[in-house]
Structure 1
Amino acid sequence: MPIRARSRVGGLAAVATAVAATAALGTAAPAHAAATDPAGAEPPLRYVALGDSYSAGSGNVPLDPSAPLACLRSTVNYPHVIAGRTAAQLTDVTCGGAQTGHFTKSQYPGVAPQLDAVTADTELVTLTIGGNDNNTFISAILACGSAGLLSLGKGNPCEKAHGDSFKRQIDDSTYPAVRESLRAIRAKAPNARVAILGYPWILPPKADPACFAKMPVAEGDVPYLRDLQAHLNRAVQRAAGETGATYVDMAPVSEGRDACKPAGTRWVEPVFFASSLAVAHPNAAGEAAMATQTLDTLGTLG
């Protein structure tokens, strides 16, 4: 089913988690954004956005006033960008810190499970999910950052301490959980296009000594974390392929846009000296790029 669009337009981290944990919890309804069509026009695309902080645009402003404050949902997240470009009727239930389990159970008191927003007449679903499951990716970033500071950026202390344990967690737990989540979406919305995005690069392929002050990861652990992120993305891609979902590959387009790059070039903010609160998360340019890549992958009709 093609996506209707007015035009085709080109282009986990500790601080955000701490802000979310200390924020007062809101219980507002999901965000809705709908275009006003003239009488007799084709109805807008019914679009539901699910997922974690990369979908919510956590750390970017302005915050979505209709969202629970703890979700740190932004109105510049890629679902809002997609909705604006396609004149879609958006129901946005994305939430920072979400895991696959929060599709079927409440993440916070008074916040409905995300899958509740998906109905039989939903036409498009987008999501990023899996990075928070078992705290695998968050744990890896925090562990490698702490080890990097202790080693003053030398060696590969994180890899030595953890080996392939993070990859095993992804294979044994995250991958099947993502697959089951995609199956659950398909069961609720059998006619919807479902697009699951990979995570854009956080780190470059090799260590950049000038970046250590912004991303305190030891030189040998930079390729280790990069490989771990690639492994997570491959698990997401595999789950998509097995469930009929579309995988949106952010790796090629985000190359050279990692957190080590200068402001104005990077799509992901560094842990220190960030230009926004979106530490180790996409900034507004990154969210817009995720929207563009999603629309390019799905295809649009003018």
Structure 2
Amino acid sequence: MGSSFAAGPGIKPQLDKAASRSGRNYPHLVAEALDLDLTDVTYSGATTANILSEPQGDAPAQVDAVGPDTELVTVTVGGNDLDYIGIFLRGSTMNTLARPVGLFSKRLGNRIMARVSYLREQAEYDAVADRLVEIVNRIRASAPRSRILLVDYLTVAGPTTRPRLDVPLNEEQLPSVVMMAEGLAQAFANAAARSGAELVAASAASLDHGVGSAEPWTTGFGFRPGGGVGYHPNEAGMAAVADLVIQQLRTAD
């Protein structure tokens, strides 16, 4: 279960248009590799509320798919609670619009770029951790024998990422986006420690695979046919997360 970083928007084949769910997302790749029966309820745009209680489109709350026969659950959600990728996309859009405007009026260009705030309070990250713990508890209540893996978010922009055409943020904005990613990763780690769920730290494993790296696991700004939506996992990223999940399952068996 989870949001777009689990669903795989833009990665072919798309099995559910409304959910932007790929047949080559990491849940499908894990199920294929381990010969598991998969129920995939990932849905792009999902928040923790859509996991716990709120329908999304025609889809019920994702936790409703868990039952007493469920043996394994992977969870990637929380970024939309913080508007993490949304802020990244809006900032990139505003900067792209501001660039030609700034040629005529630097002041107006700066005003356009300043319309996006990249800051989040610690309480917001803590709230994500709290809701992840609640998700784990709800899963355990329905499936007491299941293994629960909290799979955090692949790195889009890491500490070494610099402004470029497909990451059109400046030297002041990029560190704030990186701080959001780090805060989200810490929320997952805190939730795993508090709930006893297993943590798959895709964020740490992908630090050298952000946009602009030699082998990126996420896409840059904009849409890339067949390669995923901007600032989201690409096919290589989904395969890498699947490998991390499989490694976790085999190591802890």
TM over 0.5: yes
**Structure 1 residue aligned with 2:204:** 252
**Structure 1 residue aligned with 2:30:** 82
Identity %: 31
1:1-302 correspondence to structure 2 within 5 Å? 50-64=1-15, 67=16, 69-103=17-51, 104-109=53-58, 111-133=59-81, 135-149=82-96, 152=99, 162=117, 164=119, 166-168=120-122, 170-209=124-163, 212-261=164-213, 265-272=215-222, 274=224, 276-299=227-250
CA distance in 2, matches of 1:206, 1:300: 30
Other structure's SS at 2:74 match: strand
Residues 142-180 of structure 1 deviation map (CA, whole Å, 9 limit, x = unaligned): 34324533665999x97997464x243533532222221
CA distance in 1, matches of 2:252, 2:129: 33
Residues 210-252 of structure 1 deviation map (CA, whole Å, 9 limit, x = unaligned): xx21111112221221121011110011112111111101133
User: Is the CA contact 2:9–2:44 (under 8 Å) kept in the aligned structure 1?
Assistant: yes
Shift in alpha-carbon separation, 1:213–1:89, aligned structure 2, 3 A: same
Q: Which runs of 4+ in 1 moved over 3 A?
A: 146-155, 157-164, 272-275
Residues 26-66 of structure 1 deviation map (CA, whole Å, 9 limit, x = unaligned): xxxxxxxxxxxxxxxxxxxxxxxx111111111101111xx
CA distance in 2, matches of 1:150, 1:56: 30
CA distance in 2, matches of 1:160, 1:98: 25
1:278 Cα deviation from its structure 2 partner: 2.4
1:285 Cα deviation from its structure 2 partner: 1.0
1:85 Cα deviation from its structure 2 partner: 0.8
User: Is the CA contact 1:204–1:260 (under 8 Å) kept in the aligned structure 2?
Assistant: no
CA distance in 2, matches of 1:80, 1:268: 18
TM-score, normalised to structure 2, is 0.85
1:106 Cα deviation from its structure 2 partner: 1.1
TM-score, normalised to structure 1, is 0.72
Could you tell me which amino acid in structure 2 is paired with residue 144 of structure 1?
G
1:190 Cα deviation from its structure 2 partner: 1.1
1:105 Cα deviation from its structure 2 partner: 2.4
Other structure's SS at 1:196 match: strand
Other structure's SS at 1:226 match: helix
Structure with the bigger percentage of helix: 2
1:101 Cα deviation from its structure 2 partner: 0.9
